[in-house]
Amino acid sequence: MTDTTPPLDGIAWAMQRGNGALADKMGFRWVELTIERAVATMPVEGNTQPVGLFHGGGYVVLGESLGSMSANLYAGPGRLAVGVDINATHTRSATSGLVTGVCTPIHLGRSMTVHEIVLSDDQGRRCSTVRITNMIKNLPAR
């Protein structure tokens, strides 16, 4: 049986694991990381469309980073969560400051997780809602 006990400090675990080159380039920053809730930010500056709006793909990068890392924290040692579906609905555009993502689980199963990520601007207005499904796989023994 695989040990699925999560690390005590989710952010330290994430920093050791790394955010990935894309999230790092886009300015992804952790605020909180537990199995029940994950929060991170990304700056609008440097992640805009030509007209100055936060890029829709930026919402998806922030959402997928939060959902995937949350699923991997839940999966625990010896297992890997990989994304199999993601969707996003953009309802507002951030134009300055930070976009904050709050990720919460909808389903935490043995082989699949589903997370909802609400992405808001500095005024707390919802800009996008992302849902990601991850499949959990056992890593091969070394």
Clarify whether 64 is annotated catalytic.
yes
| Residues composing the chain | 142
As for how many domains the chain has, the answer is 1
Q: Is residue 31 part of a domain?
A: yes
Kindly report, residue by residue over 20-43, the tens digit of the pLDDT: 999 999 999 999 999 999 999 999
Q: Is residue 1 part of a domain?
A: no
Q: Is residue 119 part of a domain?
A: yes
139 phi/psi in degrees, rounded to 5? -75, 145
pTM of the model: 0.91
Catalytic residue among 36, 45, 64, 116: 64
Task: Indicate which CATH number applies to the domain containing 33.
Answer: 3.10.129.10
Kindly report, residue by residue over 56-71, the tens digit of the pLDDT: 999 999 999 999 999 9
96 phi/psi in degrees, rounded to 5? -160, 170
At residue 141, the pLDDT reads 81
Measured on CA atoms in the order 117, 113, 35, 64, is the torsion positive or negative? negative
> What is the domain extent for residue 124?
10-138
The CB density around residue 79, as the number of other CB atoms within 10 Å, is: 18
